[in-house]
Structure 1
């Protein structure tokens, strides 16, 4: 049995998991997730005993590690190996745990109105004990004051709080009581965004500043007028912060794309972009250039050689012309390009290599004419 969840966005888009706060449901993200789903495969999930998730997924003495395990089980069930993650409060603590203990799974992290610790164990243990005795009604009465600034409210979230399973809620309190990653924050290597609500009494900005000061290269955004459930009260501000944070990969990919293919080529491709092709162009910048070409396991010279060989094998000669030029920008000499095509003749076939040599000779001659440099250089 997995956590109840909601999938939104293109199946081919990069996955983004959104975690909720204690006492809420995936409805917490209603004003933000649909916009994020334009460019991401968004997976919203419910805590055990909250929303649509079964209460028996978590028991007494639970830890944030247990919740993180359930999130990984969910990702595995959906075939998601690596993902961006954003979470609020307890959902943010889950993200911190994943980034520290499962860094190979987390491509980026956003921690919203959360903390590396939740002010010790006693208050949470007392809350868990009382919830087990009396249920949740006494907490529901103060939900608006704890969650929102001013007179703002979201009736659906208050209703979800009232309908949560008390035992599962108490188990989540146990997890918060035991949580403290203060000494492990420097281990986080994923690009990290911290979002604080300036009116948040539960996890005030100082808690987020503590994380920002410890996590290398992290970014802190404070939202005026926001309390603990910032995505519900100030969705536009949260969305803007998340978009800036999550768009780092496409921006990086576009930089590499321009460096390899040249500004003129990329500008022409962008100028020809239409609403019909826009998502494909985004896919290229985000995936091919933002993830594959930015991976430093292989050098750009090596990637050029592999790419030219693959294009010869499949007869993609227009693309080959583009990548012969790219190979020169990546430092390959005329002789090295010729050696790659000769190697391709052995494994891809002489006719394919014959056409490839013709394409490459034309491109290199054009390049020599443009630069005035001899062809043999």
Structure 2
């Protein structure tokens, strides 16, 4: 594995992991979700490992990076951070580590929004360089909209009290110390996460790994990005993705970005297909990584044939 640090124009340092064939003909770039990190894509990478040195495709490079404020990446000087800013971060990563050749983009949840923000700001890049896009458990907007079928947790997340947000923003260190009282090793922690993020039969190892990533994410990251995700609305600019092959993938039991958001994406992008995976939740790429890997693999092979 090769490690790079990409510096953005506002001073953030983004931690980037590069694996696979360093001279691969195709580059696959992964953008992770809110409160996660680059390693959340590890199960999907395992499903794609045969592509790394596949002579039929000329080899494949895999690029993962920690979004700002997550993992080993820093914040930079932008405040408040918006999803559009995250799109520019992704563009900086692409320019630094994949300056030439075809690209396949995969984004999960906030990472999917990041990909859509990139497309809206740099449509020519999508047309000239991006051959495929996989959007996993995500939405182009409307996360704050009222909807009668949303669950109790989703209702709470949508209406998180402003005073609670203010406390988190003013005293992030205190919130982090309080969170240490309930580490991921406790079953109650994992049970609650499974109810929110996974399907009923999710592997315990996947739930534990996800819990550890979320627990390691600073409170500042959680509370500062929360309003940006609720405010994000890119639904009028999805045509920017029309030039690429697009696969929209979602878990049937996803309560954070319910299936209706994925249907809206698929209906709005002429080149999009939709797959709804039964008995799975928001963390689909950790729960059933082969389901997410399948369209990525298809796009890599399709890139070589075009």
User: CA offset at residue 210 of structure 1?
Assistant: 0.2
Could you give the per-residue CA deviations for residues 161-206 of structure 1, whole angstroms, max 9, x where no partner exists?
Answer: 1111221222221321221011222332222110011111111111
For structure 1, list consecutive stretches of 5 or more residues without a partner in the other structure: 254-289, 291-377
2:90–2:115 CA contact under 8 A, matched in 1: no
How many Å separate the matches in 1 of 2:42 and 2:77?
Answer: 25
Partner residue of 1:94 out of 94, 107, 114? 114
CA, structure 1 residues 86+58, in 2 after alignment: closer, same or farther (shift >3 Å)?
farther
How many Å separate the matches in 1 of 2:111 and 2:142?
Answer: 13
Tell me the number of residue pairs that the alignment of Structure 1 and Structure 2 aligns.
251
Following superposition of structure 1 onto structure 2, how do residues 157-306 of structure 1 map, counting pairs within 5 Å?
A: 157-189=210-242, 190-250=244-304, 253=305, 290=306
Partner residue of 1:83 out of 90, 93, 103? 103
Could you give the per-residue CA deviations for residues 137-170 of structure 1, whole angstroms, max 9, x where no partner exists?
Answer: 3897443322111263432321121111221222
2:138 alignment counterpart: 114
How many Å separate the matches in 2 of 1:5 and 1:217?
Answer: 30
Deviates further, 122-131 or 156-165: 122-131
Paired residue secondary structure (2:124): coil
2:27–2:63 CA contact under 8 A, matched in 1: yes
For structure 2, list consecutive stretches of 5 or more residues without a partner in the other structure: 1-6, 8-12, 53-59, 146-157
Structure with the bigger percentage of helix: 1
1:52 alignment counterpart: 72
How many Å separate the matches in 2 of 1:57 and 1:45?
Answer: 15
1:135 alignment counterpart: 175
User: CA offset at residue 44 of structure 1?
Assistant: 0.8
CA, structure 1 residues 130+204, in 2 after alignment: closer, same or farther (shift >3 Å)?
farther
CA, structure 1 residues 103+34, in 2 after alignment: closer, same or farther (shift >3 Å)?
farther
Matched, 1:74 2:79: no
What RMSD, in angstroms, separates the aligned Cα atoms of the two structures? 2.5
TM-score, length-normalised on structure 2?
A: 0.74
Partner residue of 1:61 out of 80, 84, 91? 80
Larger radius of gyration: 1
Structure with the bigger percentage of strand: 2
Paired residue secondary structure (2:212): helix
CA, structure 1 residues 15+124, in 2 after alignment: closer, same or farther (shift >3 Å)?
farther
